Chain A
Amino acid sequence: MAVDLSSVASKMDRLYEFDRESVSPDKFKKGILFGSVFAGEHVAATEFVIGAFFVLHGITASDLILGLLLGNLLAVLSWAFICAPISVSTRLTLYWYLRKIAGPGVTLIYNLANAFLYCILAGAMISVSATAVGLAFGMKVPDIKDVFPSNPLWVAVCLVLGLLFTLLAILGFEKLGRFSEVASPWIFLVFIAGALVSLPKLGVQGNFSHFWEVATTRIWNGVAAAGQEKFGFWHVLFFAWFCNLAMHVGLSDMAIFRYARRWSYGFYSAFGMYSGHFLAWICSGVMVAAIGREMHPGLMAFEAVGLAGAAAVMLAGWTTANPTLYRAGLALQTITPGWPRWKITLVAGLATSVLSCLPLFFMKLLDYVAMYGLVLMPIGAVVFAEHWIFPLLKIPRYQAEQKKKTFNWKVLGVWVLSLIFCFLLPVHLYFRWLPGYLFALLLYVLLNLPSRGAQNE
């Protein structure tokens, strides 16, 4: 077993070989580039769904505005004070830093968990795109409470789109990466234009003097849709904060910030948060209110902006699903020795296409986003403790690397126990990650206290 794991680990290392070395100073990037990366990444297909769900969950306008302002601020601060400082200090990706701390075995498990979660996320993106494509065939979108598909046309559209996206992911990731750079400003504009054009349908025309009155009575009026849980200020604040938990507190974005000149570049994440997770969410809320609160991203964009709107929903789904499929393929390649990239991307794409047929992930996107961050969060806590707290307490760092361990059982234990702790917490799903993070941090430090003062070998 140990031999097999070593073999898998070495294959995994070869896959990530290209970013094994710390980033050298000549490769550091200008701050504004980080702003544009964040602005592009965080105006995606999910924004059409999340902003609309806030309306369906009966949030009031003031709770929404205040919750988003503060929640996004906390997210920006998490990037600036947690993720960016570790990134510029190590200049490594999370993959390589975690490997030093937890060993290749734990890193492999982390990769597989990430791949599985990526596939579900890409599936949700395909579902969002399907709502736009289905307009051409008069397709009925699944009901908000549906778990399984009830409509063969929905299944067919999801599968065809999934296969198409997979094919494009196989054919060329780099070219599509450039295309998404081109598409993202336009997609953001579709949000703004869609909301602007939807406002007259809600009774705001010509000037914004009635906007607040309409916003509080016809859009975010505090009345949840049938079967939807009522949300308030704290739900919005925590959702905006943990929406990218895996990236900031979970440290996935070390891959980006290792190119930053200074840790303060973390503040550039505000470009993504306040354009995508503030303005775009508000705009999609306006659009869903204008179509009678129906969860149908394709229809709401089509009604507002016409064919271009439907195209925007489809493109947003495609440009987001594509890199997600690529990353899932990269992560899965570790367990399929000898398989070429196209074959594993095909397998990931097929699995994703099947998952996209299940309305569950699309209609429960908010809960899924919460679960996604929650599952990966303890690893962020472990790395934070190892990087900042261990030197203060004189606990030796990087024991997996020093002792050439495949598994750092303490890391694995903290990961599993933190998830059990979060599962048992008697609070709403959205509020579980923060106590879970503190629990993971404390537990990992406590487990390592006995080795305090020991010299690194």
Chain B
Amino acid sequence: MSKTIFKILAFLALMNCLLFSYLNFLGKADIQPYKLVFLISSVAYFIFATLSVSRKAQPK
């Protein structure tokens, strides 16, 4: 269940990257704030995506 949530969060982080790129294209987001948002969203994506694919250690 938690993995599904991480997957959704990872997807949202990716969509945020795309959304701000589109806003910049429309002229509604300046380039420097856009780059910062893109970086933060990318870091968030990697954290959530890694958590969504990580495996729990097998009980011995």
Within 8 A of A (CB), among B1-54: 14, 17-18, 21-22, 24-27, 31, 34-36, 38-39, 42, 45-46, 49-50, 53
Residue on A nearest B20 in the bound complex, by CB = A193
Partner of B17, one of A178, A179, A193, A311: A193
Residue on A nearest B25 in the bound complex, by CB = A196
Alpha-carbon distance A189/B34, docked complex (angstroms): 15
User: Any chain B CB within 8 A of the CB of A213?
Assistant: no
Cross-chain contact B25 with A197 (CB below 8 angstroms): yes
Within 8 A of B (CB), among A177-207: 178-179, 181-183, 185-186, 189, 192-193, 196-197, 199-200, 205-206
Binds B, one of A96-104, A256-264, A301-309: A301-309
CB distance from B58 to the nearest CB of A (A): 15
CB distance from A299 to the nearest CB of B (A): 14
Alpha-carbon distance A178/B46, docked complex (angstroms): 12
Alpha-carbon distance A305/B17, docked complex (angstroms): 10
Contacts of B53 in A (CB 8 A): 178, 181-182
Cross-chain contact A186 with B26 (CB below 8 angstroms): no
CB distance from B12 to the nearest CB of A (A): 13
Cross-chain contact B46 with A193 (CB below 8 angstroms): no
Residue on B nearest A205 in the bound complex, by CB = B27
Residue on A nearest B28 in the bound complex, by CB = A206
Alpha-carbon distance A183/B25, docked complex (angstroms): 24
Contacts of B14 in A (CB 8 A): 185-186, 189
Residue on A nearest B21 in the bound complex, by CB = A193
Contacts of B26 in A (CB 8 A): 205-206
Cross-chain contact A307 with B39 (CB below 8 angstroms): yes
Within 8 A of B (CB), among A297-338: 305-308, 311
CB distance from A182 to the nearest CB of B (A): 4
Contacts of A206 in B (CB 8 A): 25-27
Interface of B is mostly: helix
Alpha-carbon distance A185/B14, docked complex (angstroms): 9
Alpha-carbon distance A307/B37, docked complex (angstroms): 11
**Size category of the binding interface on chain B:** 20 to 34
Alpha-carbon distance A200/B14, docked complex (angstroms): 22
* A side interface size, CB within 8 A: 21
Alpha-carbon distance A225/B34, docked complex (angstroms): 32
Cross-chain contact B27 with A307 (CB below 8 angstroms): no
CB distance from A16 to the nearest CB of B (A): 27
Within 8 A of B (CB), among A79-103: none
Partner of A197, one of B21, B39, B49: B21
Chain A 21-39 interface 0/1 with B at a Cβ cutoff of 8 Å (1 = within): 0000000000000000000
Partner of A308, one of B22, B24, B35: B35
Cross-chain contact B25 with A306 (CB below 8 angstroms): no
Residue on A nearest B15 in the bound complex, by CB = A189
* Given known A192-B21, A196-B24, A200-B27, contact A306–B46 (CB-CB < 8 A): no
Cross-chain contact A306 with B39 (CB below 8 angstroms): yes
Cross-chain contact B25 with A186 (CB below 8 angstroms): no
Alpha-carbon distance A185/B7, docked complex (angstroms): 13
Alpha-carbon distance A205/B24, docked complex (angstroms): 9
Contacts of B24 in A (CB 8 A): 196-197, 200
Alpha-carbon distance A205/B26, docked complex (angstroms): 6
CB distance from A200 to the nearest CB of B (A): 6
Cross-chain contact A197 with B34 (CB below 8 angstroms): yes
Alpha-carbon distance A58/B22, docked complex (angstroms): 28
Known: A186-B17, A189-B18, A205-B26. 6 other contacts (CB 8 A): A183-B46, A193-B17, A193-B21, A196-B25, A306-B36, A306-B39
| Residues of chain A at the chain B interface (Cβ within 8 Å) | 178-179, 181-183, 185-186, 189, 192-193, 196-197, 199-200, 205-206, 305-308, 311
Q: 10 tightest CB-CB pairs across the interface, nearest first? A: A306-B35, A193-B21, A182-B49, A308-B42, A196-B21, A308-B39, A196-B25, A308-B38, A197-B24, A307-B39
29 A-B pairs within 8 Å (CB atoms) are namely A178-B53, A179-B50, A181-B53, A182-B53, A183-B46, A185-B14, A185-B49, A186-B14, A186-B17, A193-B17, A196-B21, A196-B22, A196-B24, A197-B24, A199-B25, A200-B24, A200-B27, A205-B27, A206-B26, A206-B27, A305-B21, A305-B35, A305-B38, A306-B39, A307-B39, A308-B17, A308-B35, A308-B39, A311-B42
